Amino acid sequence: MSRRYVIVGNGIAGQTAAEDLRKLDADASIVMIAAERHPLYNRVALPRYLRGQVRREKVFMRKVEDYARQNLEIHFETWATEVDVTRKVVRTNTGKEHAYDALLVATGGRPKPPPWPGCDEVSQTIGFQTLDDTDAIIEKADTAERVLVMGGSFIGYELAEGVSFRKKAQLTWIMRGPWFLRYVLDEEGGQLCRQLGEAQGVEFVTSDEVQKFSRLNGRFLAETVNGKRVEFDLLTYGVGLDYYTEPVNGGTVKLDKGIVTDSKLRTSAPDVYAAGDIAVFYDLMVERHNQMGTWDNAEAHGRVAARNMAGADEDFFDVPTYTTTMFGSTLAVMGVTPDVQPGLESVRTYSFEEKFYRKLFFKDDRLVGAIMIGPPKGRKKLIEIMRSRQHIDRPKQELLDPNNLKD
Cα–Cα dist 89/358, whole Å: 49
Which of 206, 208, 204 is CA-nearest to residue 226?
Answer: 208
Strand pairing of 29-33 and 4-8? Answer: parallel
pLDDT at 137 over 60: yes
Cβ atoms of 194 and 200 closer than 8 Å: no
What is the CATH number assigned to the segment(s) 4-46+54-110+242-309? Answer: 3.50.50.60
Q: How far apart are CA 210 and CA 194, in angstroms?
A: 20
Average pLDDT over residues 323-345: 91
> Which pLDDT value is given to residue 290?
92
The residues facing 405 across adjacent strands are none
Q: What is the pLDDT of residue 405?
A: 77
279 pLDDT higher than 80: yes
What's the pLDDT score for residue 406? 62
Share of the chain above pLDDT 70, in %: 100
Q: Distance (Å, rounded) from C-alpha 318 to C-alpha 80? A: 29
Q: Is the pLDDT at 407 greater than 60, yes or no?
A: no
Quick check: 29 pLDDT over 90? yes
- As a whole number, mean pLDDT of residues 333-362 equals 94
pLDDT of res. 329 = 93
Q: What is the mean pLDDT of residues 380-396?
A: 92
Nearest to 151 by CA among 105, 121, 112, 124: 112
* Higher pLDDT among residues 111 and 274, named by residue: 274
| Residue 175 pLDDT exceeds 60 | yes
What pLDDT digit, counting tens, does each position of 88-106 carry?
999 999 999 999 999 999 9
pLDDT tens string 233-268: 999 999 889 999 999 998 889 999 999 999 999 999
> What value does the mean pLDDT take over residues 30-51?
96
pLDDT at 117: 84
Given a cut of 60, whether residue 294 has pLDDT beyond it is: yes
If you count them, how many residues does the chain have?
407
Matching CATH topology for 4-46+54-110+242-309 and 321-404? Answer: no
> In this predicted model, what pLDDT tens digit does every residue of 307-318 receive, in sequence order?
999 999 999 999
What is the domain partition of the chain in residue ranges? Answer: 4-46+54-110+242-309, 119-237, 321-404
The pLDDT score that the predictor gives to residue 184 is 93
Q: 234, 100, 95, 239: which is closest to 169 by C-alpha?
A: 234
Q: Report the C-alpha gap between 199 and 165 in whole angstroms.
A: 11
- What CATH number is given for 321-404 in this structure? 3.30.390.30
Q: Tell me, what's the pLDDT at 363? A: 93
pLDDT at residue 91, rounded to an integer: 97
Whether 125 shows a pLDDT value over 90: the answer reads: yes
Helix (H, G, I), strand (E, B) or coil at 1: coil
Which amino acid type is present at position 241? L
Residue 286 has pLDDT above 90, yes or no: no
Q: How many CA atoms lie within 13 A of 160 on its CB side?
A: 31
- Greater model confidence, 14 or 376: 14
Domain 119-237, what architecture? Answer: 3-Layer(bba) Sandwich (3.50)
Handedness of CA 173, 175, 179, 183 (dihedral sign): negative
Is the confidence at residue 349, as pLDDT, over 90? yes
